[in-house]
Structure 1
Amino acid sequence: MAVGYLLMALAVPNSLYIGSMVVGVCYGVRLAITVPTASELFGLKYYGLIYNILVLNLPLGSFLFSGLLAGFLYDAEATPTPGGGNTCVGAHCYRLILLVMALASVIGVGLDILLAYRTKEIYAKIHASKQVKKASSNLS
């Protein structure tokens, strides 16, 4: 996702289209892996609650990044117009917010790697127990 945001921030020809496609695919993959991740890490007892907490970042991030931060940074880049509003034309208007979103994506990847490292032993135990069950069922 960070690559998509960086492509959009570079503002080379067609980078908006390619960057948007990369970010869109990443959001789709993220939504697809949330379901099995929630069930594997936390079980199914409180699955609905946990899943909703995991997908809460979509509207919350939308509000924080798009509503607040992007609006504030756009207004900082824009020039006042005679009618009392602000206007900004060009790639520089959103470059900083795209870089901030790329940084947030890199931080997210770091946290994903940390989660993978911390759950490595749990998955090894789950895999070993499945192998033992499979071996015992083959002996029967």
Structure 2
Amino acid sequence: MAVGYILLAMALPGSLYIGSIVVGICYGVRLAITVPTASELFGLKYYGLIYNILILNLPLGSFLFSGLLAGILYDREATATEGGGNTCVGGHCYRLVFIVMAAACIVGFFLDILLSIRTKNVYNKISMSKKSKKSLGTSSSQ
């Protein structure tokens, strides 16, 4: 996702389309893996609550990045017009916003790596229990 945001920040011809496609695909994959990840790591007892907490980042991130950060940085880049408003034309208007979002994605990537290292034992236990159930099923049917 960070690569997509960097492409958007570069504002080269066609980078809007390619960057948007990359970010959209990554966003869709992230939403798709949230469901099984939540159920595998935390179980199904309080699944609704846990899933909603994990999905809370969507409106929260939208508010923080699109509402606050993008608005503040756009106003900083914009020039005042005679009618009393601000205007900004060009790729520089949102460049810093995309760079900040790319940095947030890079931090998230490293946190995902940390999560995968910390949950390696959980997945090993799941794998071992499936193997032991298979071997018990095979030996009892013989």
Tell me the TM-score range normalised by the shorter chain.
over 0.9
* Structure 2, unaligned runs of 5 or more: none
Equivalent residue for 1:71? 71
1:109 and 1:6 map into 2 onto residues whose CA distance is 15
2:83 and 2:49 map into 1 onto residues whose CA distance is 48
Equivalent residue for 2:12? 12
Residue 138 (structure 1) shift:
0.3
**Where has structure 1 moved over 3 Å in runs of 4 or more?**
none
1:93 and 1:64 map into 2 onto residues whose CA distance is 17
1:125-140 map, 5 Å:
125-140=125-140
Percent of matched pairs sharing the same residue: 74
How big is each residue's C-alpha offset from its partner over 1:87-133, in whole Å with a ceiling of 9 and x where there is no partner?
00000000000000000000010000000000001111111111011
Instruction: Provide the aligned length of Structure 1 versus Structure 2.
Output: 140
RMSD: 0.5
Residue 49 (structure 1) shift:
0.4
DSSP 3-state at the match of 2:82? coil
* Structure 1, unaligned runs of 5 or more: none
- Indicate yes or no: 2:40 matched with 1:40: yes
Q: TM-score, normalised by structure 2?
A: 0.97
Equivalent residue for 2:110? 110
